[in-house]
Amino acid sequence: MLLKFPKHFHKKLSVRLTVWYSGIFILSSLVFSVVSYLFVFSTVRDNRNAIQATLSQYRPKAEDGGVKAVDALTRRQRNPSRRTSFFIRVVGRHNETLYLSNPQLWEKFDFASPSSPAFQEQWRYYTSKRDGDLLEVASARLANGNVLQVGKRIQDREEVLERFRETLFATIIPMVLIGLAGGALVAFRALRPIRNLSLVARSIVDTSRFDARVPDDRSRDELNDLVVVFNQMLSKIETLIEGMKSALDNVAHDLRTPITRVRIVAEEALDGDDAARREALADCLEETERLTTMLDTLMDISEAETGAMKLSMENVDLSALIDEVVELYDFVAEDKGVTVSVNSARALYLPADRSRLRQVIANLVDNAIKYTPRGGRVEIQSLQEDHQVVLLVRDTGVGIPPDEVTRIWDRLYRGDKSRSQRGLGLGLSLVKAVIQAHQGRVEVSTNSSGGSRFSLYLPLSPAV
Amino acid sequence: MRILVVEDDRKIASFVMKGLKEAGFAVNHADNGEDGLHMALSAPYDAAVIDVMLPKLDGLSLIERLRTQKVHTPVLILSAKRSVDDRVKGLQTGGDDYLTKPFSFTELLARVQALIRRANHEVEPTRVEAGDLSIDLLRREVLRAGRMLDLQPHEFALLEYLMRNVNRVVSKTMIIEHVWGYDFDPLTNVVDVLVSRLRNKVDRDFDRKLIHTYRGAGYALKVS
């Protein structure tokens, strides 16, 4: 069966990884083999060098002092291993042994070989009849016609090298196979997260469904980090898209009511007299103003909820900000006969978007004053607690019925008691969304006095 | 006084032009950025009202080109985008003021007039008078028909702002910007409350009422 290679097969990362891995593996194995071969080869050569060196050491002695001097030199060798490792022999004209060092070691070799021509060659080999040992010998003819021989026992050099070569060639093919298989395995395993990633990405591109996730093998390697971050990114995109969708739905829904009101007012004005028309037009103007504010606030909430809100974070003094807001509502509170008191730690800095945070505080104070009857009190307190800043807004107002506590944060939700008040029903949703965009949280509870108590918690250091 | 209006929406353009003409300005109109740039470079204008989203050349690029050509006509940017970022970007590009759609014409007019006054470096008077009202900005004193009125700082700031714009309607947004220096809309009727307090002090004891409410538009101090 023909394997059908995909197009650009060679460009695939797994193929390239395999090739690289195998290449490096095979190359380093080859280098190792060659170095070993050279090492063995040079060991063999060293043997000859050692023999030559010893021969040139013995030769002058043999020339001058004959057999006796040779024997004396052998005995003088202090190192016993050196004394026994070298074969020293003096051969007479008729191929008779005149001297043999350590005869018990060397007698087993067969010296009976053709006479003179043998000594013409520098190197010759003697084999042992008993155990096949090999002796490598260098010879030198002395002036008196005798021959001095120095030798060393060796393994058969050629045989060693030959066997080494054979082994080497025999291992090359498995080596290449192991290299290729290893490389492929490594590449395949290492790239699995990437394959999963591109599968998921592909499916998202094809289906536009953002709920798919890449399997997370919970390891801590770089590729799994990529998987984790990729999944986080998908979640973020999903939230963003969902948020945008629901924001769009909400905005469309929420705008229908005021638009209907404008329409009704305009229709009625068509039939009315001049004074009624003027009145209707003014109504329309006010209604469009409310619409604009509502649209802006809805967009703010959606942006904050989906994380699309751009916060320009700076070091903000919360206490100073509270003072600013309280000053803004000074007259409103005074008119309503509500006392606003501030009890804040002096200079409390935290990272926040100044104008957004101001808006949040304003909404809470606005709310508190609105729902507190004449003669009531609104208390604002800021304090630092461990790693967070707490802002409390308490009032002695109407409070929030328990069944409404969770719903007051919903968009456009207006409790029964608040329907008589002017407002959009968006203030608290915005508070919650903006505080959550600051990595903070909001809480609401009922005071012992029956009024409500709003608590904001903001981190002192921005969460990463 | 000549004003250039660069706006591609016909309805808005004719509305703005009509209003500006009624207010006594000579108005020229361009319905795309390139024509607008050409007109602004070829004749001196006292102010320009430029929309951000324009065909051929967008408003911000237009302003940038004007500024690189050393044309310093004060520019009021009109935009459908509301975020603080867009406002900042508009002002950094060289715009002098920023107004978001939908807007009321009174606010546009007031902003254009303020731009022209600022560009002409009109000397800030230390004393402003309107009808039988007069305020001394140095001594922070207010007199109506010779009687001293006791105003708190915010009330004083509001009255000063209304008197500087005498007979003109100023919007709630403009009042918040000038009196408190904020660019956000407090959800409650902060401005209404301040106006009614001021009214109590300025108008209550007098037959002739000076501070008028224009529903859906804002407030004005009228003396004529």
Q: Could you report the per-residue pLDDT of A435-447, keeping only the tens digit for each?
A: 988 888 888 888 7
The mean pLDDT of A190-206, rounded to a whole number, is 86
Both B109 and B145 in one domain: the answer is no
Question: Measured between alpha carbons, how far is B154 from B130 in angstroms, rounded to an integer?
Answer: 19
What are the DSSP E strand ranges found in A8-133?
86-91, 97-100, 123-127
Check which CATH number belongs to the domain holding B133 and give it. 1.10.10.10
Residue A155 has pLDDT above 70, yes or no: no
How close B46 comes to chain A (CA, Å)? Answer: 30
Q: How many residues does chain B have?
A: 224
Q: What angle do CA B147, B150, B154 make, to 5 degrees?
A: 135
Place of tokens 């859906």: B216
CB A285 within 8 A of CB B215: yes
Report in angstroms the alpha-carbon separations of B53 from A310, B60, B79, B90, B202: 22, 9, 7, 12, 44
Amino acid in the structure at residue B57: L
Mean of the per-residue pLDDT values for chain A? 80
**Complex prediction ipTM:** 0.71
Confidence band, pLDDT 50/70/90 cuts, at residue A380: very high
Say which CATH topology domain A222-303 has.
Helix Hairpins (1.10.287)
Neighbours of A280 (CB within 10 A): 19
Question: Measured between alpha carbons, how far is A344 from A320 in angstroms, rounded to an integer?
Answer: 9
Residue B75 has pLDDT above 90, yes or no: yes
The verdict on A296 touching B (C-beta cutoff 8 Å) is: yes
Place of tokens 């469009």: A288
Both B196 and B138 in one domain: the answer is yes
Residue A81 has pLDDT above 70, yes or no: no
Contact A288 B190 (CB under 8 A): no
Both B56 and B108 in one domain: the answer is yes
Q: 3-state class of A168 per DSSP?
A: helix
Contact A293 B102 (CB under 8 A): no
How close B20 comes to chain A (CA, Å)? Answer: 20
* pLDDT score, position B48: 92
Place of tokens 């004396």: A72
Mean of the per-residue pLDDT values for chain B? 85
Long-range contacts, B174-182 (Cβ 8 Å, 24+): B174/B107, B174/B110, B174/B111, B174/B218, B175/B218, B175/B219, B179/B154, B180/A328, B180/B154, B182/A328, B182/A355, B182/A358
Q: At which of B91, B119, B147 does a domain end?
A: B119
Say which CATH topology domain A14-160 has.
Beta-Lactamase (3.30.450)
Both B111 and B8 in one domain: the answer is yes
The verdict on B182 touching A (C-beta cutoff 8 Å) is: yes
A335: chain B residues, CB-CB within 8 Å: 193, 196-197
Question: Measured between alpha carbons, how far is B71 from A437 in angstroms, rounded to an integer?
Answer: 42
- As for how many domains chain B has, the answer is 2
* pLDDT score, position B4: 92
* Residue B27, domain extent: 2-119
Both B99 and B150 in one domain: the answer is no
Closest CA to B160 of B125, B205, B191: B125
Is the pTM of the predicted complex or chain greater than 0.90? Answer: no
* pLDDT score, position B5: 93
CB A25 within 8 A of CB A189: no
Q: At which of B119, B144, B166 does a domain end?
A: B119
Both B18 and B113 in one domain: the answer is yes
Check which CATH number belongs to the domain holding B111 and give it. 3.40.50.2300
The verdict on A448 touching B (C-beta cutoff 8 Å) is: no
| pLDDT tens track for A37-71 | 787 777 767 778 888 888 888 888 888 888 888 88
Both B15 and B48 in one domain: the answer is yes
Q: What distance lies between CA B131 and its chain's CA centroid?
A: 22
Amino acid in the structure at residue A286: E
Place of tokens 């395995």: A185
Residue A301 has pLDDT above 90, yes or no: no
Residue A163 has pLDDT above 50, yes or no: yes
* CATH code that applies to domain A311-459: 3.30.565.10
The verdict on B42 touching A (C-beta cutoff 8 Å) is: no
Q: At which of B85, B119, B153 does a domain end?
A: B119
In total, the C-beta contacts within 8 angstroms joining chain A to chain B are 66
| pLDDT tens track for A134-143 | 788 888 888 8
Contacts of B42 (CB under 8 A, 6+ apart): none
